[in-house]
């Protein structure tokens, strides 16, 4: 079975983010043929096209990590009915300058958790719009709007609610199948 390298971005920069816990849970529940590496964007400066002719090293490394991944998993909170500014900034760095978009033909999935009843539904829709513009094939089903409750996921990523664990395990199995389908139709360009 083919192993796929999945880069994941956690939309929150907070070290105790519930979305970081969710990311740990997703990795634990994923098929063994998915290898994960976090792609941090914490140190990126604010993007400006003034950098396009001379990308800083931190941005070059970030963009290279996106390109080296077979697929990208976004695990994001919702801030003010959208995605966090840091995540949008990171996407801008990876997709610029024109003609060098690291997300082109890169399979992606979006998930997130929030204490609110609709999870991160609005943020996910906002992110999907951005990813569409970036030409990233997206797993559109199953959708995953996770309402976080205290104790649902431990600090090391163990899911304590059986139905949530089953749902997340299936989500990751579907993501694996989606990656395989996309990369069969749109092979990676080397």
> Which ranges in the chain belong to alpha helices (H)?
18-29, 57-68, 85-95, 121-133, 162-185
Please state, in angstroms and rounded to a whole number, the distance separating the CA atoms of residues 151 and 29.
Answer: 17
Domain ranges across the chain: 4-185
pTM of the model: 0.96
| Mean pLDDT across 134-142 | 97
Residue of 130, 116, 112 whose CA lies nearest to 75? 112
Res 190: pLDDT: 60
- DSSP, collapsed to helix, strand or coil, labels residue 47 as coil
Sorting pLDDT into bands at 50, 70 and 90, what band is 186?
A: confident
| Mean pLDDT across 97-110 | 96
Sorting pLDDT into bands at 50, 70 and 90, what band is 46?
A: very high
Residue of 9, 156, 151 whose CA lies nearest to 74? 9
Flag whether pLDDT at 83 surpasses 90. Answer: yes
Lowest mean pLDDT among 19-23, 117-121, 165-169, 177-181: 117-121
Contact between 34 and 70 under an 8 Å Cβ cutoff? The reply is no
Instruction: Classify domain 4-185 by CATH number.
Output: 3.40.50.360
pLDDT tens-place string over residues 6-37: 999 999 999 999 999 999 999 999 999 999 99
Please state, in angstroms and rounded to a whole number, the distance separating the CA atoms of residues 5 and 17.
Answer: 24
Q: Give the list of residues 6+ apart from residue 58 with CB closer than 8 angstroms, or none.
A: 43, 44, 45
Q: How many CA atoms lie within 13 A of 141 on its CB side?
A: 0
Flag whether pLDDT at 1 surpasses 90. Answer: no
Contact between 87 and 41 under an 8 Å Cβ cutoff? The reply is yes
């Amino acid at each position: 079975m083919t192993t796929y390298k999945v880069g994941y971005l956690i939309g929150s920069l907070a070290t105790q983010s519930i979305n970081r816990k969710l990311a740990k849970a997703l990795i634990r529940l994923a098929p063994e043929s998915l290898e994960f590496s976090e792609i941090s964007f914490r140190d990126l400066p604010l993007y400006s096209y003034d950098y396009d002719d001379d990308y800083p090293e931190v941005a070059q490394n970030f963009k290279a990590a996106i390109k080296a991944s077979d697929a990208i998993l976004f695990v994001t909170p919702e801030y003010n009915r959208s995605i966090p500014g840091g995540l949008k900034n990171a996407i801008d760095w990876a997709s610029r300058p024109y003609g060098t978009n690291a997300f082109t033909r890169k399979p992606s999935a979006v998930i997130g958790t929030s204490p609110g009843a609709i999870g991160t539904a609005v943020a996910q829709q906002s992110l999907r719009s951005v990813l569409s513009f970036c030409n990233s094939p997206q797993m559109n089903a199953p959708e995953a709007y996770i309402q976080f409750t205290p104790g649902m996921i431990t600090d090391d990523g163990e899911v304590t609610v059986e139905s949530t664990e089953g749902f997340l395990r299936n989500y990751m199995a579907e993501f694996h199948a989606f990656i395989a389908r996309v990369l069969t139709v749109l092979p990676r360009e080397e």
